[in-house]
Chain A
Amino acid sequence: MFMEQLSNGIALGSIYALTAIGFTMVYGIIRLINFAHGDLYMIGAFLTYTGLTLFNMPILLSFLFGMFGAAIFGILIAKFAYSPVFKAPRINLFLSAIGIAIFLENFAMLLWGPETQSFPSVINNRIYSFIGIRISSLQLIILGATVVLVGILTYVVQYTKLGRAMRCVSQDMDVSKLMGINTNRIVYLTFALGSGLGAAAGTLVGMYYKAVYPMMGFVPGLKAFIAAVIGGIGSIPGAMLGGLIMGISESLGAAYISSGYRDAIAFVILIIILLLKPEGLLGRGIKEKI
């Protein structure tokens, strides 16, 4: 029982981690709680679903189709809804993001219908068990996909010119501009990367629960933010750690405390972390300049 919940929690946690990484990257660059992130996750899942059912693409291709499609959506949103509001008070950016989130949910409802679509089972789900640990092949795929994607992302952020520019912009946008970085391009690329990762997470969730529906992104979007805050917002390893902590504590909590309060567990952790260590587990505190 405990081991089963643990492997379940790790699978769930790696999905949260993927979503939270996209979230934390966007926050790191433009200090925006991207409320539409959860909905890009939903759009990604729906695009993969469309690729599989309408165009009969193989799974890997439709997975990439979903990621690229969501990345394009991310760029469009950043260009038309967020960049005109960058200079306005922060709350305007925030509300613009909420507006886009509401729009995307209803846009998906208009295109794909409000009802839950069943995700075709593309993988023969077998259960492996060794030394008392039972793990399904779907959980292994989720874990594997997460490790591969995070590996690629870490390489991009740490070892390429683009990644260096991204880290630069997240530290100080104006100075980066002075250093000759095309900050607009970096912002859009960050949105594309973050949305792509979110879409991957959405697709994995669709595969795991075999269902996609327009509201599927709402709660994961909030939880991604919480995971990012727990780990220290703006920090990529922090987002991964936060995602895993949330996934595991949620499955264990649902099993041992009460399944009705499943979604409350995340918020309770959040409030405790914010009160004890507001900068997050791996975050650095920012001093306010006067």
Chain B
Amino acid sequence: MSRITKVLLNLILYSGILYVGIIILSKVFDIGTKKFLEMDSRKRKIVLIGFIVFTGFIPLLLSKNTYALRTSILVLIYIVLALSLNFVLGFAGQLSMGHSAFYAVGAYTTAILTVNYNVPFWISLIFSALVAAIFGLLLGVPTLRLKGDYLAITTIGFGEILRLILINWTSFTRGPAGIPGIPSPSIFGYTIRTNTGYFYILYVLALMTIFISHRLLNSRLGRGLIAIRDDEVAAEAMGVNPTFLKILAFVLGAAIAGIVGGIFASFIHYVNPDNFTYMESVVILTMVVLGGVGSIPGVIVGATVLAILPEALRGISTYRYAIYGILLAMMMIVRPQGIISMASLKGGGANGNSSSQSGN
């Protein structure tokens, strides 16, 4: 009985702290976006470039602290993964819950090609993207006719089937034992072994993904996707081809997830099916929604917060995931539009739940 009281008291205490934390964080980001939007375009550019340069120096600042550097690499991996899911969920409005499957396909492609066939890392990375894109196409063509919850559950099913194949097809994937000994990449004869090297590879990839997201969002294709997300029937009536665009978003997201998977495999030198469970997909999805569906800075903030949080909570490790669950539910109640919502970026609806996007 005393155990129940203790657990309950602790949970109430932590939830209270979380609540206050969410409120403060939201206020800070609200003020931040407002300030940023009030600047003229030159000042904005300076702030952005300053931010990019500063984050580029992180490995130098953290060079003494390997643990923090490894965590920042994980943060970058999750930023790219979350952005790649954002193509599907944020732009096209399709609730995909099997994103870790594409990540797994990419990681296993690189692992098998480099270990079994001695293919150079960079070439196998291209194959990772291609194979993941093919899987995206294979999944997208039949399932994107489904809507909302049905699509979600089918993509969960796809992820689970893929994981079971990875476990059971032992002659090809070595099953639950995983594939060890994935080599490090090399550029111009120089082999990248340090964490700093991996940081910069992922940093470039993250910048590229942000660039692609940004350009896509403001292009003909991106506007078409957003039109589909807001109202598919109306978009179709306006001459947008929903099926084609949805599949395009799916394939693009899958290909980028595949590339990150390949880099991840080389970073930890080992892949096994447990790295790519359904929980992984949920974590990526949570990052997107927590940050603000569709908003690029929001997704980056969401991925950063949620990738650091489990590490920061290590001190109270038994309560870690219970708190994670509470945070998720509480965030949806207190701030359903995410930390930096898409609407607030356009200058309106910064506070209040009046977002007109109906998600799914």
Mark A residues whose CB is within 8 Å of B: 31, 33, 81, 84-85, 87-96, 98-107, 109-111, 222, 225-226, 229, 258, 260-261, 263-264, 266-268, 270-271, 274-275, 278, 288, 290
Contact A261 B164 (CB under 8 A): yes
Contact B149 A33 (CB under 8 A): yes
Contact A88 B150 (CB under 8 A): no
A-B pairs, top 6 by smallest CB distance, nearest first, are A99-B328, A103-B325, A89-B359, A267-B157, A102-B325, A99-B329
Task: Check B56 for interface membership: any CB of A closer than 8 A.
Answer: no
Contact A93 B326 (CB under 8 A): no
Known: A99-B325, A99-B326. 7 other contacts (CB 8 A): A89-B358, A99-B324, A111-B4, A111-B7, A271-B158, A274-B146, A274-B154
Interface-centre pick from A87, A266, A267 (highest chain B CB count, 10 A)? A267
A136 to B58, alpha carbons, bound, how many Å?
A: 64
Q: A89-B359, A101-B325, A264-B164 are in contact. Are A96 and B333 (CB under 8 A)?
A: yes
A contact residues around B286 at 8 Å (CB): 95, 98
Mark B residues whose CB is within 8 Å of A: 3-4, 7, 11, 89, 95, 142-143, 146, 148-150, 152-154, 156-158, 160-161, 164-165, 167-168, 233, 282, 285-286, 289, 293, 318-322, 324-333, 336, 353, 355, 357-360
Contact A90 B321 (CB under 8 A): no
Contact B95 A91 (CB under 8 A): yes
A267 to B329, alpha carbons, bound, how many Å?
A: 27
Contact B95 A94 (CB under 8 A): yes
B contact residues around A266 at 8 Å (CB): 157
Q: A95-B286, A270-B157 are in contact. Are A88 and B322 (CB under 8 A)?
A: no
Contact A91 B328 (CB under 8 A): no
A103 to B165, alpha carbons, bound, how many Å?
A: 29
Contact A89 B357 (CB under 8 A): yes
A94 to B360, alpha carbons, bound, how many Å?
A: 10
A contact residues around B95 at 8 Å (CB): 91, 94
8 Å CB contact of B164 from A95, A105, A229, A263 = A263
| Interface secondary structure of B, over-half rule | helix
Q: A99-B332, A225-B153 are in contact. Are A92 and B359 (CB under 8 A)?
A: yes
Closest to B169 in A: A260
Q: A106-B321, A261-B168, A290-B233 are in contact. Are A94 and B4 (CB under 8 A)?
A: no
| CB proximity of A166 to chain B, nearest CB, Å | 20
B contact residues around A95 at 8 Å (CB): 285-286, 289, 328-329, 332
A contact residues around B233 at 8 Å (CB): 288, 290
Contact B322 A110 (CB under 8 A): yes
| CB proximity of A190 to chain B, nearest CB, Å | 18
A258 to B150, alpha carbons, bound, how many Å?
A: 27
15 contacts between A and B (CB under 8 A): A87-B353, A89-B336, A89-B357, A89-B359, A91-B289, A92-B332, A95-B329, A99-B325, A99-B330, A102-B324, A103-B325, A106-B319, A111-B4, A229-B150, A267-B156
8 Å CB contact of B154 from A93, A258, A271, A288 = A271
A87 to B356, alpha carbons, bound, how many Å?
A: 12
Contact B3 A111 (CB under 8 A): yes
Closest to A110 in B: B7
Contact B164 A91 (CB under 8 A): no
Contact B156 A222 (CB under 8 A): yes
Contact B360 A91 (CB under 8 A): yes
A contact residues around B289 at 8 Å (CB): 91-92, 95
A contact residues around B331 at 8 Å (CB): 99
Q: A94-B95, A261-B168, A270-B157 are in contact. Are A106 and B322 (CB under 8 A)?
A: yes
Contact B353 A88 (CB under 8 A): yes
| CB proximity of A274 to chain B, nearest CB, Å | 6
| CB proximity of B91 to chain A, nearest CB, Å | 14
8 Å CB contact of B153 from A106, A270, A288 = A270
B contact residues around A88 at 8 Å (CB): 332, 336, 353
Closest to A27 in B: B149
B contact residues around A274 at 8 Å (CB): 143, 146, 150, 154
A194 to B323, alpha carbons, bound, how many Å?
A: 26
A contact residues around B357 at 8 Å (CB): 89
Closest to B289 in A: A95
A267 to B160, alpha carbons, bound, how many Å?
A: 8
Q: A264-B161, A271-B154, A290-B233 are in contact. Are A90 and B359 (CB under 8 A)?
A: yes
B contact residues around A263 at 8 Å (CB): 160, 164
| CB proximity of B293 to chain A, nearest CB, Å | 7
A contact residues around B353 at 8 Å (CB): 87-88
8 Å CB contact of A267 from B161, B167, B168, B324 = B161
Closest to A269 in B: B157
Closest to B231 in A: A290
| CB proximity of A107 to chain B, nearest CB, Å | 6
Q: A91-B289, A95-B286, A106-B325 are in contact. Are A258 and B332 (CB under 8 A)?
A: no
A139 to B286, alpha carbons, bound, how many Å?
A: 40
A contact residues around B11 at 8 Å (CB): 107
B contact residues around A268 at 8 Å (CB): 157, 161
A98 to B146, alpha carbons, bound, how many Å?
A: 21
| CB proximity of B13 to chain A, nearest CB, Å | 14
8 Å CB contact of A85 from B321, B324, B333 = B333
Q: A106-B321, A111-B3, A260-B168 are in contact. Are A85 and B332 (CB under 8 A)?
A: yes
Q: A92-B359, A263-B160, A267-B161 are in contact. Are A226 and B329 (CB under 8 A)?
A: no
Contact B358 A84 (CB under 8 A): no
B contact residues around A107 at 8 Å (CB): 7, 11, 322
Contact B153 A226 (CB under 8 A): yes
Contact A100 B329 (CB under 8 A): yes
A contact residues around B164 at 8 Å (CB): 260-261, 263-264
Contact B358 A90 (CB under 8 A): yes
Interface-centre pick from B158, B325, B326 (highest chain A CB count, 10 A)? B325
B contact residues around A81 at 8 Å (CB): 329, 333
